[in-house]
Copies of this chain bind each other. A is one copy, B any other.
Amino acid sequence: MTALSDRALALARAAKQASRLLSSATTERKNDALRAMAAGLRAATPAVLVANALDLAAARAAGQPAAFVDRLLLDEARVEGMARAVEQIATLEDPVGAVTSSWDRPNGLKVRKVRLPLGVVLMIYESRPNVTSDAAALCLKSGNAALLRSGSEALHSAQAIATVLREAVTRAGLPEASVQLVPPDRALLLELLTLEGLVDLCIPRGGTGLIRFVVEHARVPVVKHYQGVCHVFVHAAADQAMAECIVVNAKASRPGVCNAAECLLVDAALADAFLPRVGRALREKGVELRGCARSVAVLRAAGLEVVAARDDDFGHEFLDLVLAVKVVDGLGGALAHIERYGSEHTEAIVTADRPAADRFTREVCASAVVVNASTRFNDGGELGLGAEIGISTTRLHAFGPMGLVELTSQKYVVEGDGQVR
C-alpha cells in the first residue's frame, strides 16, 4: 500500500468513524454544534480575513478576473452572513429519524420507513469560501461526516474556516473528524473517489471539466451538478406584461447562475406582438440578443439590435448578459426544442392556458418545471427547503435542489411478534 492510499484511507476512515457517532447524535447536540460553529466564525473573523487576504493576494498576482476575486473575497459582512447561514440550519427540522411512511402487512408485520444519514459526503467545490461552512453545517445537521475539498485558490480561507468549525464541533461533544478538509492534491482525490464503502456520496460543484473528471474516476456514487441551459417559453396564451417581466428577470437578475435563462422561445402566434416589447426591455438591461432568422426579422423591423444566432448558441450556457431567441411553432415546437437543447435543470412556460401548462409540466423533464414565474426560483431557499448543498441534475437519488432531506436515505424498520416465512 502506498503512502497516498494510506492518507486517503486515514481521512476516509476517520470520517466513517465520525459518521457513526453523528448518525445517532441528538438534534440538540447537533444544533449546539451548529451554534458553536456560528459563534466561532464570528469570534475568529479577524483570523479568517487574514487568511482570506493571502488567497486574494495570490489571485490578484495570478491575474484572475475581477468576478473570480469577488467570489473569493470575504469581509466582515460576508463572514457574518456565513455565521447566520449556519445558525439558520440549526433552526431547520432534523430529517434523521423521521418516519416518512408506515403500513401494516396482512400477517401483522408493522413496516415503517425511517430516514438515516448517508454516512460520509465528499464535497468538491471551487473558490467560494462560504461553501466550506455551508456544506459542513448541512452535512452535520443531516448526520453526515463531511470531507471538504475546497478549490486551491481558496485554501487559506478554507483552512481558517475549517479550523474554527472543527473546534466548535469538538466543543459540542461531537467528533472532530465530522468535518475534515481534504488537501488539494489530485492524486489524493482520485484515491478518495475509489473508496467504496467508506465514502458514501461525492458531490462535485464547479465547472464541467471538474465534474467530468469526477464522474470518470469515481467508484463511489456521484450526484452531479452540471450547468443549466434554462428556457422560458412564451406561449400564445401568455399575459405579455407578465411574460416580459419574467423573461427579463430570468435572464438579467443574475446572469452568472445556473438557474438564469439562456434561451427565450416565443410562440409564432405571438412573435410579432411580443418580440419587440421584450426585445426592448432586454436591450435596456444590456442583454445581447442572438436570434433565429424569424426573430431577427421581427426584432430588426422594430429597430432593435440583434445578432444572427449560430447553431451552437442554442443549448449554450452563456452565464452572461446574452440570450438566444427562437420563434417556435406552438407548444409542440417548444417541447421539441427543450427536449433537444435543454439540460434538465429548469424550464419555464408563460401561459394563461391551463391545458398548455399541464402538458408542459407533464412532458418536460427537468428538475424544476415552472409555470408563470421566473426560472430563478429553482433554488433550495426559494422553494422552501431552507438551504441547499447544490442543485442536482442527476435523476438518481435527488433531482433539483438538495437540502437536508436529500442528504439522507431511508431504511425499513419491520416489527413483528414472531412472524416467519
Chain A residues near B (Cβ < 8 Å): 20, 23-24, 97, 103, 105, 109, 111, 114, 116, 118-119, 196, 200-201, 215-216, 219, 221-223, 239, 242, 245-246, 248-250, 253, 339, 357, 361-363, 365-374, 376-378, 382-384, 394-397, 399-401, 409-421
- Across the interface, A395 reaches (CB within 8 A) one of B111, B366, B382, B409, namely B409
Q: How far is the CA of A295 from the CA of B382 in the complex (A)?
A: 59
A369 and B411 within 8 A (CB): yes
B253 and A420 within 8 A (CB): yes
Note all chain B residues with C-beta closer than 8 A to A400: 410-412
A421 and B382 within 8 A (CB): yes
Copies of this subunit? 2
A214 to nearest B CB, angstroms?
10
Known A200-B396, A399-B410: A249·B370 in contact at CB below 8 Å: no
Question: Which of A245, A362, A373 has its CB near the most chain B CB atoms (within 10 A)?
Answer: A373
Contacts A118-B395, A374-B421 given; 16 further ones with Cβ under 8 A?
Answer: A105-B384, A196-B215, A221-B221, A221-B394, A221-B396, A357-B415, A365-B411, A366-B411, A368-B413, A369-B411, A369-B412, A377-B416, A378-B412, A378-B414, A396-B397, A396-B409
A200 and B395 within 8 A (CB): yes
A367 and B245 within 8 A (CB): no
Q: How far is the CA of A371 from the CA of B413 in the complex (A)?
A: 8
A332 to nearest B CB, angstroms?
13
Q: How far is the CA of A215 from the CA of B221 in the complex (A)?
A: 9
| Chain B, Cβ-Cβ closest to A371 | B415
Note all chain B residues with C-beta closer than 8 A to A420: 245-246, 248-250, 253, 373-374, 376
A372 and B418 within 8 A (CB): yes
